[in-house]
Amino acid sequence: MKLCIVGAGLSGAVLGRELAAAGLDITIVDEREHIAGNCHTERDPDTGVMMHRYGPHIFHTDNKEVWDFVSQFCVMMPYVNRVKAIANGHVYTLPINLLTINQFFGKTLLPDEARKFIASKARMDIGVPGNFEEQAQSMIGDELYRAFFYGYTKKQWGVEPTELPASILKRLPVRFNYDDNYFNHKYQGMPRDGYTSLVEKIIEHPRIHLKLQTKFEEIDASIYDHVFYTGPIDRYFGYKFGRLGYRTLDFEKFHAEGDYQGTAVINFCDQDIPYTRITEHKHFSPWEADSFQRTVCYREYSRACCEGDIPYYPIRLVNEKRMLSDYIGLANASHRVSFLGRLGTYRYLDMDVTIAEALDASKRVRNLLEIGDKLPAFFLDPLK
Catalytic choice (82, 123, 247, 294): 247
Nearer to ligand UDP, 152 or 224 (CB): 152
- Residue 183 makes contact with ligand UDP by CB under 6 A: no
CA-to-CA separations, 157 to 74, 168, 269, 276, 277, in angstroms, rounded = 34, 11, 13, 11, 14
- Binding ligand FAD (rule: CB under 6 A), the pick from 6, 202, 265, 365 is 6
Among ligand FAD, ligand UDP, none, residue 129 binds (CB under 5-8 Å by kind): none
Q: What angle do CA 52, 56, 58 make, to 5 degrees?
A: 110
- Our answer to whether residue 347 is catalytic in this structure is no
Residue 254's φ and ψ, nearest 5 degrees, are -145, 155
Question: Using CA atoms, how far apart are residues 312 and 308, in angstroms rounded to an integer?
Answer: 12
- Residue 8 makes contact with ligand FAD by CB under 6 A: yes
Q: How many residues does the chain have?
A: 384
Catalytic choice (200, 300, 352, 357): 300
Which string of b and e fits 322-361 if b means at least 16 CB within 10 Å?
ebbeebbeebeeeeebbbbbbbbbbbebbbbbbbbbbbbb
- Our answer to whether residue 348 is catalytic in this structure is yes
Regarding beta strands 187-191 and 76-78, do their DSSP bridges make them parallel or antiparallel, or are they unpaired? antiparallel
- Binding ligand UDP (rule: CB under 6 A), the pick from 6, 269, 296, 358 is 269
Q: Are 361 and 250 in contact (CB under 8 A)?
A: no
The tally of CA atoms less than 13 A away on the side-chain side of residue 377 is 15
- Our answer to whether residue 33 is catalytic in this structure is no
> Which string of x and - marks every residue 204-243 that binds ligand FAD (by CB under 6 A)?
-----------xxx------------xx---x--------
User: What's the closest the beta carbon of residue 343 comes to ligand UDP, in angstroms?
Assistant: 16
Among ligand UDP, ligand FAD, none, residue 237 binds (CB under 5-8 Å by kind): none
**Total of residues contacting ligand FAD (CB under 6 A):** 35
CA-to-CA separations, 235 to 114, 210, 239, in angstroms, rounded = 49, 21, 5
Q: Are 306 and 239 in contact (CB under 8 A)?
A: no
- Residue 168 makes contact with ligand UDP by CB under 6 A: yes
Among ligand FAD, ligand UDP, none, residue 350 binds (CB under 5-8 Å by kind): ligand FAD
Stretch that binds ligand FAD, among 56-64, 258-266, 280-288, 368-376 (CB under 6 A): 56-64
Q: Are 297 and 260 in contact (CB under 8 A)?
A: yes
Question: Using CA atoms, how far apart are residues 211 and 229, in angstroms rounded to an integer?
Answer: 15
Q: What angle do CA 52, 27, 200 make, to 5 degrees?
A: 30
Nearer to ligand UDP, 168 or 365 (CB): 168
User: What's the closest the beta carbon of residue 148 comes to ligand UDP, in angstroms?
Assistant: 5
- Our answer to whether residue 133 is catalytic in this structure is no
- Residue 55 makes contact with ligand FAD by CB under 6 A: yes
> Which string of x and - marks every residue 90-129 that binds ligand UDP (by CB under 6 A)?
----x-----------------------------------
- Residue 170 makes contact with ligand UDP by CB under 6 A: no
Q: Are 133 and 151 in contact (CB under 8 A)?
A: no
Residues at the contact surface with ligand UDP, assessed by CB under 6 A: 85, 94, 148-149, 152-153, 156, 168-169, 171-172, 267, 269
Residues at the contact surface with ligand FAD, assessed by CB under 6 A: 6-12, 29-32, 37-39, 55-59, 215-217, 230-231, 235, 249, 312, 341-343, 349-352, 354
Q: Which positions are annotated as active-site residues?
A: 171, 175, 247, 277, 300, 348, 350
